[in-house]
Chain A
Amino acid sequence: MNGINGIPLWAFLIIAAALFCIGLYGALARKNAIAVLMGVELMLNGVNLNLIAFWRFIAPDSSAGLVFAAFVFIVAAAEAAVGLALIISVYRNLNSVDPEKLDQMKL
């Protein structure tokens, strides 16, 4: 069970799982919509770490893992931009960023 310089695969996977679960808690349990988005970014980072760890250990000579991770980067950036634009727009109309106040499809 030797890994990269002595670090086995499961260590990276546990860290990625921890990041994912902490992000999940943040996305579900925060009162500020921007903090919810921060939780989502943590989840995406955990996923990326998982992908790169598996790429390194299982298939370092193919690029599929790297390409997948690159796409996750791209999608995370696009989603953060649109999400924050929406939050700012909601703040202008409702003067609050509490996601619990947004319970209707109309403002």
Chain B
Amino acid sequence: MTYSIAIFIALAIITVGAAIAVVTLRNVFHAALMLVVAFFGVAGFYVLLEAGFFAAAQVLVYIGAISVLLIFSVMLTRGVFMAQARNQQSGYAAVAAGVMFVLIAALVGPIAINWPGLRLGNFVLPPRVLGNPIEFAVPSPKAVQPDYLTRFGSNLVETYGVGFLLAGVLLLLAMVGAIWVARERKLMEIVLERREMAAEAQAESDADMAAGVEAPAIPAAPAEPAAGAAH
């Protein structure tokens, strides 16, 4: 067993284990820390795939920025992180995730066994595309050229330059939007906002009454607990 296979198995266990911990832990702060571990694991996979630049970019962007943002948010919305971990539809969600995994594994399966395709007389599966059957067999990977970074950089700004500029605009808009949405509102501003919301709600119920729509039923008071009724 060479080193790469051992490292791959170790990284796989760490990453998938940390990911499962992220979605199961009740304490959201611990879940955020496990997310950091999962990001490190994915960075390790990028190193195995000989895309070292992306491993460093993963650490810089995800661990250095996005995780810090997540932890700040966890701390700013404190007091609500000890609640239950799963909501009512967690069973359905687990089934959905399981089915999704089976579907993707079914797509990955033919690649794993180098499936040459199925042929029954005239019937050919996979069907031909432009006269050529879809190849599932993966050829031996070529070596990565030593100047892949230079060509990546040139392609990013030349061939895909429009996307690059749009990505810059997207980041600018996201930055401005995030600052504006989460800005610290002064007391007067909050009072005016609430007044406006109350006025809108009133206007809406007036319009409903004029149109003859029934007022929404007030929910019944919860039943007395049996112990209380015994008093």
Chain A residues near B (Cβ < 8 Å): 1-15, 17-26, 28-32, 34-35, 37-39, 41-42, 45, 48-49, 52-53, 55-58, 60-61, 63-64, 66-67, 69-71, 73-82, 84-89, 91-92, 96-98, 100, 106-107
Contact = CB atoms under 8 A, between A and B. Distances in A.
A14 B12 CA distance: 10
B215 interface: no
A101 B132 CA distance: 53
A88 B93 contact: no
Contacts of A73: 57-58, 61
A78 B98 CA distance: 29
Contact of B76 (A63, A77, A88): A88
Contacts of A37: 70
B85 interface: yes
Interface of B: 2-5, 8, 12, 15-16, 19-20, 22-23, 28, 31-32, 35, 38-39, 42, 45-46, 48-51, 54, 57-58, 61-62, 65-66, 69-70, 72-74, 76-77, 80-81, 83-87, 89-90, 92-94, 96-98, 100-101, 104-105, 108-109, 111-112, 114, 138, 140-145, 148, 151-152, 155-156, 160, 163, 167, 170-171, 173-175, 177-179, 181-182, 185, 197, 200-201
Given A55-B51, A67-B152, A77-B61, A60 B143 contact: yes
Contact of B182 (A14, A49, A52, A88): A88
Is chain A's interface secondary structure helix, strand, loop, or mixed overall? helix
Contact of B5 (A6, A10, A77): A6
A71 B152 CA distance: 12
B178 A67 contact: no
A86 to B, nearest CB: 6
B87 A30 contact: yes
B23 A52 contact: no
Given A22-B97, A29-B89, A85-B182, A78 B174 contact: yes
B57 A97 contact: no
B108 A17 contact: yes
A15 B12 CA distance: 7
